[in-house]
Amino acid sequence: MSDDLIKKGMETRRSVLGDKHVDNAEANKTDFDRDFQEYITTNAWASVWSRPGLTKRERSLLTIAILTALGYDEELTMHIRATKNTGATADDIKEVLIHTAVYAGIPAANGAFKIAKKVLSENKD
């Protein structure tokens, strides 16, 4: 992979998830998942999250809706935490979850609301 693509991906990843999260992921990287971590960095963070068409706030809200619909709670938790870096507000998250309930189902949104309430209460500290 191109060093420029990795650098761009890491910059975006850090701006969204924060240095602490990325430093932890990097510190825990092994030979087993090194290629996967590089794939995430270059494809998700450099090639998609770094595109100019949407703001980080918009991408953040889309990601929250998709993760809610798919039931990926661990990733959802991480991306709700990241809203403190993307500019998405608690009201934005609430509206996305209500909207997601219509299209992905009430049980999915109900679980996401529980996660969001917990994460948002942690972010107040």
DSSP character string of 84-108: HHH---HHHHHHHHHHHHHHH-HHH
* Nearest partner of 77 among 86, 87, 85, 67, judged by Cα: 67
Q: State how far the Cα of 57 lies from the Cα of 12, in Å rounded to an integer.
A: 13
Q: What are the structural domain ranges in the chain?
A: 1-51, 54-125
**Cβ–Cβ under 8 Å, residues 60 and 79:** yes
10-40 residue pLDDT tens: 999 999 999 999 999 999 999 999 999 999 9
Give just the sign of the alpha carbon dihedral 11, 16, 19, 21: negative
> Architecture of 54-125 per CATH?
Up-down Bundle (1.20)
**pLDDT per residue as tens digits for the range 75-124:** 999 999 999 999 999 999 999 999 999 999 999 999 999 999 999 999 77
